[in-house]
Amino acid sequence: MSSSGREADLAVVSDAARPDGIDLANADPDGTLTTVEDSPAQWRHAAELAAAVRVDPVAARSVLVTGMGGSGIAGDVAGLAADLSGSVPVVAVKGYTLPAWADPDDVLIAVSYSGNTEETLAILEAAGQRSIPVVGAVTSGGKLAAAVAGDRTVIVPAGRQPRASLAYLGVPVLVMLARMGVIEPPDDQLEAVPAHLESLLQGWSFDVPASDNPVKQVAKDLVDLVPIFTGGRGLGALLAYRAKCQVNENANRPAFCNTLPESNHNEVVGWEQLPDTTARFGLVELRTPDEHAQVARRFEVTRELTADTFGATASFTAPGATWLERLAAGVLWVDLLSVYLALLAGVDPTPVRTIELLKQRIA
């Protein structure tokens, strides 16, 4: 596969040298890579912050978790937790309006990193109009912190990008759900996550040369391609969505995601034509050790049927003994991949100028 002459390796960092032409201080001046590699500390700190939240057991019909973008994925994580061990549905609400069926039998958790996300505040207002209890919130401040004050709110560190704060935003929601009696307590799983990530970073971090770093190897294969991330229903699908969003924002390039087995019932046919176009896409499988046996088979057969379709293919299986370890490992892998893609392409992984312009124009 051609890399258009870009052969930079993202190799070993030294204090004095620029690794293969990449001066990290200039390429990533706001330290997005450092933030990603600091994930173990973030998971540890998030659990400490969440421990102080006060949420009482409730008999709710469902739990609505509202949030957008990097904050909204907290609702997806909460929904996955409920699918695995929940007693009632947990529904991620992304947008300005509540479902028509939502009423006082349901409860709401609001998540907004800035505290000023207009969609989330609109949902909060709508919940008040329908007398839907707001049982908790996660934010760094803003209007949300003022609206849901007290020990029902977890205040997380400010000054970060929401997309780099998944643990800060997601862990408190899981703890709230556990204290409400909706999911099994995640305490033991959470305690094991930081050490798990620290172990993985020994092979994935920027200091590890591409010859020994599987994340960098995938980034090199995808550097000139549009990635399509595919995961099985559940955790795999969540990681595929996370990967798409992180590549969009960190690497400033198109990326797409889909889910097996659903995509085998439609999208797989769409790759039969336009070979010059399909060769510009790279297929990345995001897998889990506990995926359904037939999903595993579908990954294999899909790869065989599309062997000559894509410009590159790659596969990653999220390691871990529990679903939370696998989630954290998968998030770390896709976040690193997105930053490595940015660095290889000479893109600063922090700014999201188009999002800021969009917010200004609709304000």
Complete edge-to-edge strand list for the sheet that includes strand 90-93: 90-93, 63-66, 107-112, 134-139, 153-155
Selected catalytic residue, list 7, 125, 191, 359: 359
Angle at 194 between CA 221 and CA 321, to 5 degrees: 75
Residues 6+ apart with CB under 8 A from 187: 47, 178
Return d(Cα 297, Cα 19) in angstroms, integer.
Answer: 40
Tokens of 183: 């999911």
Angle at 69 between CA 362 and CA 84, to 5 degrees: 150
265 is catalytic: yes
359 is catalytic: yes
Selected catalytic residue, list 37, 119, 249, 325: 249
Tokens of 66: 């509202």
DSSP bridge partners of 229 = 257, 284
Crossing angle of helices 187-204 and 214-222, rounded to 10°: 70
Active site residues: 249, 265, 359
